[in-house]
Structure 1
Amino acid sequence: TINGDILVVQRDENGFLAMDFPHNPTQALEGSLVNPAIDIAKALLPDLNKVLEFKISPGTKKLLIRLDEDKISTEDIHEIRPNFEAMLSIDSQNQIRGVILTHRALEGSYDFVSRYFSPWNGIPEDPVNGSGHTALTPYWAAVLGKTTLFAGVLSKRRGELALKYDESKGRVTLSGRAVIVIKGQLFF
């Protein structure tokens, strides 16, 4: 795939399908990306005081915006209505192609929650974004000090993923529920 080799594992005891991806760690946002990142955040949030930090995943060109869980609720994140026209007008010199809003979950079974937007790729909002979680998993593993995480996705459809991070191998395993919508065979 565009994200490197992946391995699909059979369903586990919970009925989840697992996929093994290369990780895409984040780093501090610097230089020419700072102003576009702030402008993108303004197109998503009316109040930038709710932003705790910005990170960038250079491998995926995803901007990670961590929101302050003490200033914005999970339901508030679910209700955010992005200004996609404003987002598309921001020039990041093609260094930002997707945006992840995330924050630590304070209640329930999730370790963190997120939403993913990529209007630059023709995807206003991805209901459950796998490649975004290859950046989120190393980030939250470091923040929370654990390598097994459970994530909630706050898109309209909503979703959840079980995540495992193997830093030594540079791999993230994403597990979740899936429905087969088409089945076929390829002959070579």
Structure 2
Amino acid sequence: MIIEFTTLAGTLTAKKVLLDAKTAGGTSNNIENGEAQESYFIELNFPAAPSNEFNSGEVSFISNALGGASIIDIRRTTVTDDLLVVLPSAKDVVDLQPKFDAIQKCPGSRGVIVTGIAPPESEYDFYSRFFCPKLLLDEDQVCGSAHCGLAPFWCKKLGKSDVFAYAASPRGGAVGMHLDEQNQRVLLPGKAVTVMEGTVLV
């Protein structure tokens, strides 16, 4: 079953998929009452947001807005129009002390994504955080649409189509991604919990 949502970004879909062995830590089954139970994720299908070079004289301003962070690269995403700021390491992403008033004045219509390569011993490929005070939210704890810009960047950089990331917000969260480069889509699988059931009469 596929559920379609009509949004400003086009038609987005959600469907139930079997949890693959890699994501499940080596097994696609859970054990309940001595019997194996198949595990499922809900997979969201979003448009990819590739990024372009961002040539700006505002690098020092952006660095200051990010608490004086050392910046390796700055890019600008298509579709979402975010700044994608690459820092030297995951630790720099975690330790970042953002200045939200200054971030509000940064270029881009939404916010600033910061990211850095994960340490070799980590299970993750990269870390990230997303600051969006222009949307009246200082930091999105785990932002799906921000990963639509991160997936094309890191998949190209790392030479693979599946990446696993950590959103290093105060709450934090792991995000798995598959980049469908041919169709320019990012697939985001995750666990879901039923919180409401109802009936629609038509």
* TM interval, short-chain normalised: 0.7 to 0.9
Secondary structure of the residue that 1:6 maps to in structure 2? strand
Match of residue 96, structure 2, among 80, 88, 111: 80
1:92-134 deviations in Å (ceiling 9; x for gaps): 3xx3421111011123111111000100111111111111111
Q: In structure 1, how many angstroms separate the alpha carbons of the residues matched to 2:96 and 2:51?
A: 24
Post-superposition offset of 1:43: 1.1
- For the 8 Å contact 2:92–2:116, the answer to whether it is kept is no
Secondary structure of the residue that 2:11 maps to in structure 1? coil
Q: In structure 2, how many angstroms separate the alpha carbons of the residues matched to 1:4 and 1:142?
A: 25
Aligned to 1:171: 185
Q: How do 1:65-144 and structure 2 match up within 5 A?
A: 65-69=85-89, 74-88=90-104, 90=105, 92=107, 95-106=108-119, 107-144=121-158
Residue identity matched to 2:115: T
- For the 8 Å contact 2:67–2:99, the answer to whether it is kept is no
Identical-residue share of aligned pairs (%): 33
The 1:37–1:177 alpha-carbon spacing in structure 2 relative to 1, beyond 3 Å, is farther
The 1:87–1:12 alpha-carbon spacing in structure 2 relative to 1, beyond 3 Å, is same
Aligned to 1:39: 61
Match of residue 20, structure 1, among 42, 45, 56: 45
- For the 8 Å contact 2:130–2:146, the answer to whether it is kept is yes
1:35-80 deviations in Å (ceiling 9; x for gaps): 4454233111324xx21100101321110001112xxxx3442232
Secondary structure of the residue that 1:5 maps to in structure 2? strand
Residue identity matched to 1:22: P
Choose between structure 1 and 2: higher strand proportion.
2
The 1:11–1:99 alpha-carbon spacing in structure 2 relative to 1, beyond 3 Å, is same
Task: Please give the TM-score of this superposition, normalised by the length of structure 1.
Answer: 0.84
Post-superposition offset of 1:187: 4.3
Q: In structure 2, how many angstroms separate the alpha carbons of the residues matched to 1:158 and 1:165?
A: 22
Task: Please give the TM-score of this superposition, normalised by the length of structure 2.
Answer: 0.79
Q: In structure 1, how many angstroms separate the alpha carbons of the residues matched to 2:80 and 2:152?
A: 13
The 1:41–1:56 alpha-carbon spacing in structure 2 relative to 1, beyond 3 Å, is same
Q: How do 1:45-64 and structure 2 match up within 5 A?
A: 45-47=67-69, 50-64=70-84
